[in-house]
A and B are shown apart, each in its own frame.
Chain A
Amino acid sequence: MDPYVNTANAASEETIVLPEIVSFNEHIQPILSEYCYHCHGPDSGTRYPKKEPLRLDIEDEAFKIRDFGSPVIIRGKPEESEIIKLMHSESKGEVMPPPESHKVMQPREIALVEKWITQGAEYEGHWSYEPIVQSDALENDWSNKPIDGFVHEKLAEVGLTPNEPQDPRRFHRRLSFDLTGLPPEPATTDAFVEAYAKDSEAAISAEADQMLASMGSAEHFTRHWLDAARYADTHGIHIDNYRAIWPYRDWVIRAFKANMPWDQFTTEQIAGDLLPKPSLDQEIATGFLRCLATTGEGGAIPEEYAALYAADRVDTIGAVWLGLTASCASCHDHKFDPFSTKEFYQLTAFFRNNTMTPLDRNDANHPPSIFAPIPEDRDAWNNLLVKIKDTETHIETRKQEAHPDFQTWLASSKQTDRQETDSTLALHLPMTAEKGKLTGTVEGNQQQWPTEPERMDGPLGKAVVVTGSEISLGNIANFEREDQVTYGGFIWFEKNANGSILSKLDPEQNLRGWDLALEDGKLVSHVIDSWDKSANKLVRHRRLNAGEWHHVMITFDGTRSGHQAMSFFLNGKSAGARTYPNTVGGNIVSDTPLLLGSRVNGDNQLNAKVALQDFRFYRRILSEKEISRIANLQKIQNWATLPASERDEKQNKELFDYFVTSIDPPSIELMQNLDKLKKEEKTLRDRGSMTLVFEEKKDSKPSAHILIRGDYTSKGEEVFPETPAMLPPMPENASKDRHGLAMWLNDPKNPLPARVTMNRLWYYFFGTGIVETNGDFGIMGARPSHPKLLDWLASEFIDSGWDFRHMAKTIVMSDAYRQAGKITPEKLEKDTHNRLISRGPRTRLDAEQIRDLALASSNLLSEKVGGAPVKPYQPIGVWSAVAMPQSNTKNYKQDSGEALYRRSLYTFWKRTAAPPTMEILNAPTRETFCVGREQTNTPLQALALMNDPQFIEAGRIMAQTVIKDATGFDQRLDLISLRLLNRKMAADERATVKTTFESAKAYYEEKPEQARRAIEIGEMPVDETLSETELAAWSIIANQIFNLDETVTR
């Protein structure tokens, strides 16, 4: 509504002032929709009177002759029009609107309707459904830019003049936050101010171009978009588990970085999978349709949720592209917009032919989902897949060609001495000799140790009795936390044996190292950094039979997290074992020798007889098949010594398999290559992620049923994809599927998407859209404050080839945007909410901008782009207070290092418990789309800004920097205020800050232990070269200036 008219309206004690020309769209239609349409509007279900329903929203209906002989409106004759008579009626039974509506028309509103009828009662179509008209801006003495012409026109109507330009320092800050979400570097501001003095237009233009092309800008506009897309890192309903979809978020960043044309941006997200030969990116883009909240609740009814999801998708697209509050029509014909229930379900039909199961099974990768390597890895990934396939083929080929060598080997292997050729076998103790010194191979070299151990019968010959032998094998068989190893052999022990079989644990370093041991007859193996805080202990709980030989092997895969790192194999087969604790990290390499039978200091000596044979330590993960062969070595050796005629086919086959995997050098080399490739594959896999995508069912056509009153159990007519009739039809070549829908959204004839998108863009800069209800352009939505401006922006957007960046730049180049944020009493009176743009935007920064400001101004901000979501500081209990016990996002495990300092759009977003400081600062929960954030001003925000450790730490780091980089109070204060406010403070301000500083310093000098506490917040180390009291006092100042209204507003 025109605020000027509004002002006159509300001042009921003043004389009624009516516009010269009363316009249906601008003046009358809002009145009719407010008071009449509920019973005389589009919803046929509530249209009255029942006998002779009256409809006022359609011109023909409104002028139909009624049973009393004339229409309710008689053009030119308000006094004869029934509608006016009833509006004036004093009778309770007669007056319109009736008392039960609890609505009373204001005299001015009735007067407007009267004047409209006097002027001929002309109807107009609803403004937002009418074609976009590009008007010429009126000339004015302020600015010749089209945007400014339209703004000036409205200001002149109410007798306001625009503000003078914002001072360039402050303006540069505004520009930077609006285009990149980040504060400018002080030096950049200096350069800008200098350039601005010479040529302000050129300076802004150059700066805007540079900012818009930056990665920071792409991240910033992505963050805006993620609200609309309802992006989050969990499913959202019920168990609310982790969801793998961040590659979609990174796709949005790339799209903004490349300034992807908006029509393409639209198409790829709504129908990327339906494009011919969709690229990986186009499939990832359909994640937009998977960002909605879903459930895996046990009792949920799939059909009900399938209906809800389709409705959510229509609602989201309705709000984000069309400005339609579609969901109203899910239960009844839209009360106010000419949008029927049938049309709503026709829209849902576009989304009801997909392969996603309605219940998400609480699965992060809830299908359909695909693997998305990070973009830098994509070539490598594709090459790798080819190489893996090639190598597998070569292994097969070599198998075919290996037969002659196999025969040769068979012929020569009558003796049991075999030559192991696997170079990853770093330690091999065959332990098969009848007697004599212990021998073995270390890193491929034969070695002999001085001791002659006791022997007993083993599966492959005479085994070594470890008990009491205490042979030191030297500082060998070390491995690091990231390595992959496999170790084990044949073991025999007496009942309840206890002690180390082999140990490399260092008692002097909290048992760092690894071992293989027995605990009361239970087999265990440790891999330890520091017992028991950072350690893995694998235990085979079921006791192995004493007095028998068992083959045991353990794999340690350091590329995996603690609990997944270790696996256990018994007699060649994967077997159950628990790992607890399972927290090993850091350094696991000890300097102690590998010892048989006890730990180095004599601890944990074996207390009963234990024997060992064929101990192997490999620097790779052996497959179960390979381990099985080693366990069955004895059998295989026996077969090899048999004459060919006595072997059966199965034995031949196993022998051959043994030959190619353990003896044949070319095969072994190929397999080692394959291992390396697989390892690389895993690295790339870990860097990338699965990501949820949308996929059309191939064997059916999209359709939906009308659900009576939105109830999924009451199915009505079957309907097919179609767009609402009040808008231009789908383009002729458009298919009736999502691709066609995207074409319709991109059709320049469709007046809504360009308007709605430009309105939202305007809102990003000015805090309010030209249409205040960003998501509702319908009849009950707000009217545009500047209809011509909105249409100009929309048509410029389309004409520019949907160039989003061009439009952002066009807005920031306007003089309207450049105005100072200052408010005069007159402007507060006539333009309270700055809907007329009588001044520059002065809204609070968004939650993410505030946190990013804290990080950037203290030089903590990480420049890393994209990747898995991160978990910065968060108070305890925020997740667990609301989460289900079985949720994998019940406990918040804070990250450390760089992850604490990433831009806020990378913060892990749990849908049922959004990041608390951000939520306090009005970030939406992402449970549904959000096309306009609320701006509140609450005490909880004050508490967060003062005390969130993130901000406290940033303040302290800033204090460290300024103490080092400058001397003297004023110079240091300058460094802080330049970072946070982009300016130096005035003398009186300095005096105020100094007062705070002095009181802080005095306090800390008196209580140095408090100073220490104050500066120890956060993970970043304290600079110990600085005075603690000085540092604490400056941290208070950084916190004070950070909390200024001027800091947290644009």
Chain B
Amino acid sequence: MNPVDIHNNAYTRRQFFRKSGTGLGMAAMASLLGEKGMGAMESMGNMSIPQFAPKAKRAIYISLVGAPSQLETFDYKPELEKRYKEDLKNYLAKEGQRLTGMTSGQAAFPLAPSRFKFNQHGESGTWISELLPWHGKMADDLCVIKSMHTDAINHEPANQLLCTGSMVNGKASMGSWMSYGLGSMNEDLPAFVVLHAKHTSPFANVQAISSRLWGSGYLPGKYSGVALRSLGDPVLFLKDSPGIPRELRRSMLDGLNNLNQKSFDAVKDPEIQTRMEQYEMAYRMQKSVPELADLSGEQEHTYELYGEDSKTRGSFANSALMARRLLERGVRFVQIFHRGWDQHGDLPRDLASQCKDIDQGCYGLIQDLKQRGMLEDTLVIWGGEFGRTVYSQGTLTDTNYGRDHHPRCFSMWMAGGGIKGGQVYGETDELSFNITENPVHIRDLHATILHALGIDHHQLTYKFQGLDQRLTGVDPAKVIKDLFA
């Protein structure tokens, strides 16, 4: 039975405890009861929620699909200039580097230093590349992690690992875990919302993504991400069909409820009540979602923060603004997907365009959250699915090169939600090839994100195929406490 039924009068408190004893995690119970319910549960006495005080109430994840190069963004390696064009063939053989099908046939692996300059920014003096000038302005808000690593070398499995904790299909996504664990703070909107931001470069090498990255896997479907669309209705079929005004929809729904209530009286199936509630939620969303999507109330200075692009529907900056609006309205987790970061060739041209797409939007988002007093309890995470190679894929010239996939190290950043800004965590070797200090696996990232939201990753579980499933899986994962203030 759908957990929403617990709201129903037909369900007794004792049944609720039985149900919880047979499957749902403790944290999930809070979600079932919602914000108000949490209070109610505390008063139930014998139930203790094993969670600690959360630093963040909500999170936003900026997914740069295709994997941005760390070497041109945050992992500054000035010494590489001296080794320009050095063939790394023997080095790679020694390191046992796994090569993708795209470079395994290459005769030479010439070392390619970044074509872009780096500067130190803020009081922290964080090195950030000239491709991200707006990031430079907020260096002291960011915690850059240079020592991320992953297990996968191709996009599909790597994105799945990043978003669901496993390369295997069918697992629950990060956002659905949040939704399951923390529930919604606004009964008019879903707890987990996905936005697809458009990339502008026609040359961008674009990866396909599918709902498995934001799906609920084995978790009940109500926890899966609801993707707001950038074309047509933001929610499918949200708008009433032409010629059906709201007042008529209301009277149609009144009649529908009335008839459904008669069915319920006759057969007493609690699913009928759930369905009635969902029609009412749909009706409320018809009002709340267009209101959400209507940016006309935004101030001009807000647009200025996010940049001119933020007025273009579906752009990254516009999505970032939309994300803030969602969070503001009580959505727990927003994930923005921006594709086109796979620079196997023409990196200088294409990476520049990709960075331009997102740079000011990210800045605007952080500043906007800060101005509204939301940054302190909103966790922001930024990054791709793996790193890129220090050697050039294809020919290396003074002005052009490409980079292949590199799972051994890459850079991400986090901000807000209790994270200590203005710090750089972890270090890589002189080639940005291996991690030399404080490695952070995807699992650790997941554990840390959950921690920020007040969840012990061991305890957020769901029983499926005989196992207590976790976002962090069965291998050990650690919370990186140093990231927090």
Contact = CB atoms under 8 A, between A and B. Distances in A.
Interface in B156-181: 156, 168-170
Interface in A974-994: 988-989, 992-993
Contacts of B269: 821, 823, 842
Contacts of A944: 236-237
A500 B458 CA distance: 79
B342 to A, nearest CB: 9
B485 interface: no
Interface string A269-312: 00000000000000000000000000101111110100000000
A240 B102 contact: no
A11 B466 contact: no
A164 B404 CA distance: 68
A239 interface: yes
Interface string B236-253: 111111111101110110
Q: Which of B233, B237, B264 has the most CB atoms of chain A within a 10 A radius of its CB?
A: B237
B312 interface: no
B281 A773 contact: no
A1020 to B, nearest CB: 15
A549 interface: no
Interface residues of B, number: 93
Nearest to B151: A711
Interface string A807-839: 000000000000011111100110011000000
B279 A942 contact: yes
B466 A7 contact: no
Contact of A1003 (B168, B247, B276): B247
B285 A1036 contact: no
Nearest to B188: A939
A1010 interface: yes
A7 B282 CA distance: 35
Contacts of A940: 226, 235-237, 282
A882 B221 contact: no
A943 B168 contact: no
B232 interface: yes
B279 A996 contact: no
Contact of A828 (B10, B212, B404): B10
Contacts of A778: 466
A690 B215 CA distance: 33
Given A10-B21, A947-B237, A939 B243 contact: no
Given A825-B268, A934-B220, A946-B282, A299 B101 contact: yes
Interface stretch (A175-183, A630-638, A651-659, A1037-1045): A1037-1045
A988 B459 CA distance: 51
B399 interface: no
Interface in A506-560: none
A237 interface: yes
Given A297-B156, A298-B102, A1045 B251 contact: no
B467 interface: yes
Contact of A952 (B236, B241, B262, B461): B241
Contacts of A327: 168
Contacts of B282: 939-940, 942-943, 946
A477 interface: no
A1013 B211 contact: no
B240 A33 contact: no
Interface in B13-58: 14-15, 17-18, 21-22
Contact of A295 (B156, B227, B243): B156
B117 interface: no
B325 to A, nearest CB: 19
Nearest to B393: A299
Nearest to A930: B170
A238 B236 contact: no
A875 interface: yes
A1043 B252 CA distance: 10
Nearest to B169: A928
A935 B4 CA distance: 13
B254 A996 contact: yes
B453 to A, nearest CB: 19
A995 interface: yes
B210 A881 contact: no
A499 to B, nearest CB: 38
Contacts of B254: 995-996
A922 interface: yes
B231 interface: yes
Contacts of A967: none
B194 to A, nearest CB: 10
B248 A999 contact: yes
A936 B102 contact: no
Contact of B244 (A304, A335, A820, A1036): A1036
A952 B22 CA distance: 42
Contacts of A882: 196, 208-210
A891 to B, nearest CB: 12
A297 B153 CA distance: 12
B251 A947 contact: no
Nearest to A1013: B243
Contacts of A6: 22
B4 A925 contact: no
A297 B152 CA distance: 15
A877 to B, nearest CB: 3
A927 B275 contact: no
Interface in B91-109: 98, 100-102, 104
B367 interface: no
Given A1017-B242, A1044-B263, A829 B229 contact: no
Contacts of A825: 10, 268
Contacts of B196: 881-882
A821 B233 contact: no
Given A11-B14, A943-B236, A1010 B230 contact: no
Contacts of A948: 237
Interface in B259-283: 259-260, 262-264, 266-272, 274-276, 278-279, 281-282
A875 B237 contact: yes
A205 interface: no
A771 to B, nearest CB: 12
Contacts of B405: 299
A1015 B243 CA distance: 8
B206 interface: yes
A847 to B, nearest CB: 12
A79 interface: no
Contacts of B251: 995-996, 999-1000
Contacts of B102: 298-299
Contact of B156 (A237, A938, A1017): A237
A833 B467 contact: no
B467 to A, nearest CB: 7
Contacts of B468: 102-103
B15 to A, nearest CB: 7
A33 B323 CA distance: 44
A887 interface: yes
B170 A928 contact: yes
29 contacts: A102-B468, A238-B156, A299-B344, A301-B100, A776-B466, A778-B466, A823-B269, A825-B10, A829-B12, A833-B1, A878-B236, A913-B211, A925-B211, A935-B2, A937-B278, A940-B282, A942-B279, A944-B237, A946-B240, A946-B249, A988-B262, A995-B251, A1000-B251, A1003-B248, A1012-B243, A1016-B242, A1032-B243, A1036-B252, A1039-B252
The 5 closest A-B pairs by CB, nearest first: A780-B466, A1014-B243, A877-B231, A1013-B243, A10-B18
Given A299-B154, A842-B267, 17 more contacts: A102-B458, A299-B344, A877-B231, A878-B229, A884-B207, A925-B210, A937-B275, A948-B237, A949-B241, A989-B262, A992-B258, A999-B248, A1010-B243, A1013-B242, A1017-B241, A1045-B272, A1046-B263
